[in-house]
Homo-oligomer: A and B are copies of this chain.
Amino acid sequence: MQLLSSQKMFNGWQQRYRHYSQTNQCDMTFSIYIPFRVTQGYKVPTVYCLAGLTCTDENFTIKAGAQQYAAQLGLVLVMPDTSPRGEDVANDAAYDLGQGAGFYVNATEAPWAKHFQMYDYIVQELPDLIEANFDVTQERSLMGHSMGGHGALVIALRNSERYKSVSAFAPIVNPMDIPWGQKALNAYLGDNQAAWAQYDACHCINHASHRLPILIDQGTADEFYPTQLQPEKLVTAAKVAGCPIQFNLRQDYDHSYYFIASFVETHLTFHAEHLGL
């Protein structure tokens, strides 16, 4: 792991690291916020914050305003990148496929399969790295925005024993049924509907081994609601599956980080409760 930057913030440290990922077969960059509580010698839980289309590890870091609450609550925040990157990594001219648009899947199709293994990277390699190198417990929660909300939900529901809670801002919940998801799943997984279903939160929720608490916020002025974003479908599926879900429809909020900043305290407080803080 190579330390790229380290800056004091809210009495803790905002850092950025690069490391070689065996899973993605390329260098990956992540950001991490380490609260003062860790400096005092305590191990604390981790919340992974998955970003949306076009984002890097820096969007949530710079724009969400989350660190102050992580500082108060005593949480480490990890902000991963949204895909493998580099000249040797496959890409597409569109903003919603390739670099910056990994969709948190393990790609099986050329030219993506070699590097685009974001599902395994977020589920296993990155937590292993974090837990080996920082003073964190093995208690984890997940949150995400848009494509990152999709990633957080799918990963938490398929590995519900590994996480205490999951939350999302304006998530894609049923990618099999919307244009963004159909394009990405077809490119990364081919025309294999059974494989697609493994990355669709509305399907995954029926097979979760634990009843993970879920929190979702959606703005009514979001330009992608309800064509690409249909959180009500997950609310219905969660009720059928018996998963506790809280859904907040926020009047006049849009898809931006101004929306996230407005409610990130609610989300981190939710995670802190379920992480036993």
Could you list which residues of chain A lie within 8 angstroms of chain B, going by C-beta atoms?
Answer: 7-11, 14, 62-63, 65, 67-68, 219, 221, 252-254, 256-259, 261-262
Contacts and interface: CB of A to CB of B under 8 A. Distances in A.
Nearest to A261: B9
5 contacts: A7-B258, A8-B253, A8-B262, A9-B258, A11-B262
Contacts of A67: 258, 261
A223 to B, nearest CB: 11
A253 B9 CA distance: 7
Contacts of A219: 8
A83 B149 CA distance: 39
Contact of A68 (B9, B10, B65): B65
Contacts of A63: 62-63
A7 B256 CA distance: 8
A68 B258 CA distance: 10
A9 B65 contact: no
A62 to B, nearest CB: 6
Contacts of A7: 253-254, 256, 258-259
A63 B261 CA distance: 11
A40 to B, nearest CB: 15
A258 B65 contact: no
B62 A9 contact: no
Contacts of A62: 62-63, 257
A8 B254 contact: yes
B221 A258 contact: no
Nearest to A61: B258
B8 A261 contact: no
A93 to B, nearest CB: 26
Contact of A8 (B65, B221, B257): B221
Nearest to A253: B8
Nearest to A220: B8
Contacts of A11: 262
Contacts of A254: 7-8
Contacts of A259: 7-9
A62 B9 CA distance: 16
A256 B65 CA distance: 14
A261 B68 contact: yes
Contacts of A256: 7
Contacts of A68: 65, 261-262
A212 to B, nearest CB: 29
A271 B157 CA distance: 47
A56 to B, nearest CB: 15
